């Protein structure tokens, strides 16, 4: 029996498409859930190192960012909610001063879930900033390559994160007004 090349290729394509569809629609990830995800814009590259759902701030976060007095308790999510921590690393900054990820009066990052809901950032932690004047911590600062950013969101416990709109602010020159930009990141979560 002789196999016709065109018929064989068609069957092979159908099988490959079926397998990809099965993976996509079954909630499984095409990427290993522990694999880092890299996204880029013109002047910035960002790596998502980890996405974590938890009912409390981890001991590592508390020790790294806080000096809790013994009578003070770490934040807890609202009833029925959980915290979603997204750990990011800045891997490239080109021709800009990355001056932040948004303050109280600015637009900030948003987490998307499988139902299309948006969840606003409730907290953030940044390690790796450089002050314009190293002797004055009130001077302007910028994030540097290698900066680690932890974004914290509150969402209902059954939330499955599907995407992140990472909002950041930059200046081409220090004297320029800050400008806003964003990077979209698709989450590969099996939870």
Give the number of domains in the chain.
2
The 10s digit of each residue's pLDDT in 74-132 is 788 999 999 999 999 999 999 999 999 987 678 899 999 999 999 999 889 899 999 98
Do 162 and 104 lie in a common domain? Answer: yes
Q: Residue 19 — pLDDT band, cuts 50, 70, 90?
A: very low
Query: How far, in Å, CA of 124 to CA of 122, rounded?
Result: 7
My answer on whether 92 and 3 are in the same domain is: no
pLDDT value, residue 34: 41
Query: Which structure tokens are listed for 115?
Result: 């139902």
| pLDDT score of 6 | 52
User: Within this chain, do residues 89 and 1 fall inside the same structural domain, yes or no?
Assistant: no
191 falls within a domain: no
Average pLDDT over residues 25-50: 63
Spatial separation of the C-alpha atoms in residues 163 and 111, rounded to whole Å: 6
Q: Are residues 152 and 82 in the same domain?
A: yes
Mean pLDDT of all residues belonging to the chain: 79
Same domain, 20 and 114: no
In a domain, 16, yes or no: yes
Same domain as 54, residue 4: no
Answer yes or no: do 9 and 67 share one domain: no
Cβ atoms 49, 36 nearer than 8 A: yes
Structure confidence at residue 14 (pLDDT): 40
β-strands 161-171, 110-113: how paired? antiparallel
Regarding whether 41 and 23 lie in a shared domain, the answer is no
* Cα–Cα distance, 185 to 167 (Å, whole number): 11
Burial (0-12, 13-18, 19+ Cβ within 10 Å), 3:
exposed
If you count DSSP H runs as helices and E runs as strands, how many of each does the chain have, helices first? 2, 9
Helix H segments across 41-186? 59-65
One domain for residues 11 and 89: no
Domain shared by 67 and 146, yes or no: yes
CA of 83: how far to CAs of 78, 79, 155, 170, in Å?
A: 9, 11, 7, 28
């Amino acid at each position: 029996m002789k196999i016709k090349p065109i018929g064989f290729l068609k069957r092979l394509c159908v099988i490959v498409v079926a397998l990809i569809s099965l993976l996509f629609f079954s909630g499984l990830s095409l990427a290993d859930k522990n694999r880092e995800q890299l996204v880029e814009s013109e002047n910035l590259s960002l790596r998502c190192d980890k996405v974590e759902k938890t009912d409390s701030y981890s001991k590592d976060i508390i020790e790294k960012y806080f000096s809790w007095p013994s009578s003070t308790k770490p934040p807890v999510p609202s009833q029925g909610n959980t915290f979603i921590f997204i750990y990011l690393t800045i891997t490239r900054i080109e021709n800009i001063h990355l001056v932040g990820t948004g303050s109280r009066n600015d637009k900030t990052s948003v987490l998307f879930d499988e139902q299309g809901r948006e969840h606003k950032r409730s907290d953030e932690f940044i390690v790796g900033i450089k002050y314009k004047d190293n002797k004055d911590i009130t001077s302007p600062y910028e994030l540097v390559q290698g900066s680690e950013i932890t974004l914290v969101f509150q969402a209902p416990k059954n939330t499955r994160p599907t995407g992140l709109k990472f909002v950041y602010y930059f200046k081409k020159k220090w004297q320029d007004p800050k400008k806003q930009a964003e990077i979209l990141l698709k989450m590969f979560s099996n939870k």
